[in-house]
Structure 1
Amino acid sequence: MEFRTLRVERRPDRTVVRLDRPEKRNAIDQAMVDELHAVCETLERDPAPMLLTGGDDGVFAAGADIAQLRERTSADALRGINSGLFARIRALPLPTVAAVDGPALGGGAELAYGCDIRVCSSRSFFGQPEARLGILAGAGATWRLPALVGESLAKELLFTGRRLPAEEALRAGLVSAVVEPGELLSHAHGLIDDIVKASPTALRLTKLAVDAPAGAHPHVELAAQALLFDSRDKRDRMTAFLERRDR
Structure 2
Amino acid sequence: MSGLRIEERPDRVVVTLDRPEKRNAIDAELIRELHEVCADLEARPRLLLLTGGSDGIFAGGADIGQLRERGRVDALNAINAAAFARIRALPLPTVAAVDGPALGGGAELAYACDLRVCTARAVFGQPEVRLGILAGAGATHRLPALVGEARAKELLFTGRRVDAGEALRIGLVNRVVAEPAGLLDCAHGLLDEIAKGSALALRLTKLAVDAPAAAHPQLDLVSQAVLFEDEEKYRRMTDFLEKRRPR
Look up the match of 1:26. 24
Per-residue Cα deviation, 1:45-103 (whole angstroms, up to 9, x for no partner): 00100000003421000000000000000000000001100000000000000000000
Look up the match of 1:83. 81
Report the AA paired with residue 98 of structure 2: V
TM-score (norm: length of structure 2): 0.98
Look up the match of 1:202. 201
* SS of corresponding position for 2:156: helix
Per-residue Cα deviation, 1:154-204 (whole angstroms, up to 9, x for no partner): 111111110000010101001011112121110100011111111100000
* SS of corresponding position for 1:215: helix
Aligned pairs (5 A) from 1:133-152? 133-152=131-150
TM-score (norm: length of structure 1): 0.98
TM-align CA RMSD: 0.7
Aligned pairs (5 A) from 1:51-200? 51-180=49-178, 181-200=180-199
Look up the match of 1:49. 47
Per-residue Cα deviation, 1:226-246 (whole angstroms, up to 9, x for no partner): 000011110000000100111
For structure 2, list consecutive stretches of 5 or more residues without a partner in the other structure.
none
Alignment: residue pair count = 245
Identical pairs, percent: 69
Whether the 8 Å contact between 2:94 and 2:115 is mirrored in structure 1 is yes
Report the AA paired with residue 18 of structure 1: T
Report the AA paired with residue 87 of structure 1: A
Report the AA paired with residue 216 of structure 2: H
Whether the 8 Å contact between 2:54 and 2:181 is mirrored in structure 1 is no
For structure 1, list consecutive stretches of 5 or more residues without a partner in the other structure.
none
In structure 1, C-alpha distance between the alignment counterparts of 2:213 and 2:104, rounded to whole Å: 27
Report the AA paired with residue 158 of structure 2: T
In structure 2, C-alpha distance between the alignment counterparts of 1:17 and 1:142, rounded to whole Å: 25
In structure 1, C-alpha distance between the alignment counterparts of 2:100 and 2:118, rounded to whole Å: 8
Per-residue Cα deviation, 1:20-44 (whole angstroms, up to 9, x for no partner): 0000000000000000000000000
Greater mean deviation of Cα atoms: 81-90 or 52-61: 52-61
In structure 1, C-alpha distance between the alignment counterparts of 2:172 and 2:216, rounded to whole Å: 24
Look up the match of 2:224. 225
Whether the 8 Å contact between 1:22 and 1:55 is mirrored in structure 2 is no
In structure 2, C-alpha distance between the alignment counterparts of 1:38 and 1:56, rounded to whole Å: 24
Report the AA paired with residue 241 of structure 1: F
Whether the 8 Å contact between 1:87 and 1:114 is mirrored in structure 2 is yes
Q: What is the CA-CA distance between 1:11 and the residue it aligns to?
A: 0.5
In structure 1, C-alpha distance between the alignment counterparts of 2:205 and 2:53, rounded to whole Å: 31
Report the AA paired with residue 92 of structure 1: L
* SS of corresponding position for 1:104: strand
